[in-house]
Amino acid sequence: MTQCYISEDENGKKFIEAMPLTADEFAQFGDVIECADSVENFEINQGFTTRFHNLADVDVTDNDGKTIINIFRSTPLALPIQIGMMERHPKGSQAFIPMGNNPYLVVVAPQGDLDLTKIRVFLATADQGVNYHKGTWHHFCLALNEQSDFLVVDRGGKGDNCDEIALIDEQKITIKF
């Protein structure tokens, strides 16, 4: 992907518009976790349950890592929201599944050296989770409307698994949604 999604307003401030989260648009960054007819699904439990199967590739085994489950409680940032940092997890994937009824923003950039011109912003609904591929740059979870809980499937184990970059003022990008 070579397209830049960042624009400038009449005052020269950088902004990026959030787009709806879809599996196709998000594929280079990770997996969308949702109950959709397009994913493998089948009936179980004597027909009383539909299983939406194999929704994300959990990749946490680097350096003898193990799968852990956490709950993150995110407080919305003041509007307008600015992208002020990015992080990545080089040793494992990381999945966020909302536990409430609020939408949230997903900010990502491709693996490799952080290229701010390739940042994408997605508006996720309350029934969509995301699984970031190992090494995918992302902002911390951006809850909207009110404090929100997320079930997080993450890597536990030895070794530093978080690279974080703070953006200087000239690099910050405002999100429009």
Domains identified in the chain and CATH numbers: 6-176 (2.60.120.480)
What's the confidence (pLDDT) of residue 2? 53
What's the confidence (pLDDT) of residue 1? 43
What's the confidence (pLDDT) of residue 3? 74
pLDDT tens across 58-100, in order?
999 999 999 999 999 999 999 999 999 999 999 999 999 999 9
Mean pLDDT over 33-44 rounds to 95
Mean pLDDT over 163-171 rounds to 95
Chain CA centroid to CA 161, Å:
16
Mean pLDDT over 27-55 rounds to 96
Give the model's confidence band at 111: pLDDT under 50 very low, under 70 low, under 90 confident, else very high. Answer: very high
Whole-structure pTM value: 0.93
Q: Are the beta carbons of 33 and 55 closer than 8 angstroms?
A: yes
Give the model's confidence band at 32: pLDDT under 50 very low, under 70 low, under 90 confident, else very high. Answer: very high
Mean pLDDT over 133-147 rounds to 97
Element (H, E) at 21: none
Mean pLDDT over each residue of the chain, to the nearest integer:
95
3-state secondary structure of 44: strand
Chain CA centroid to CA 38, Å:
20
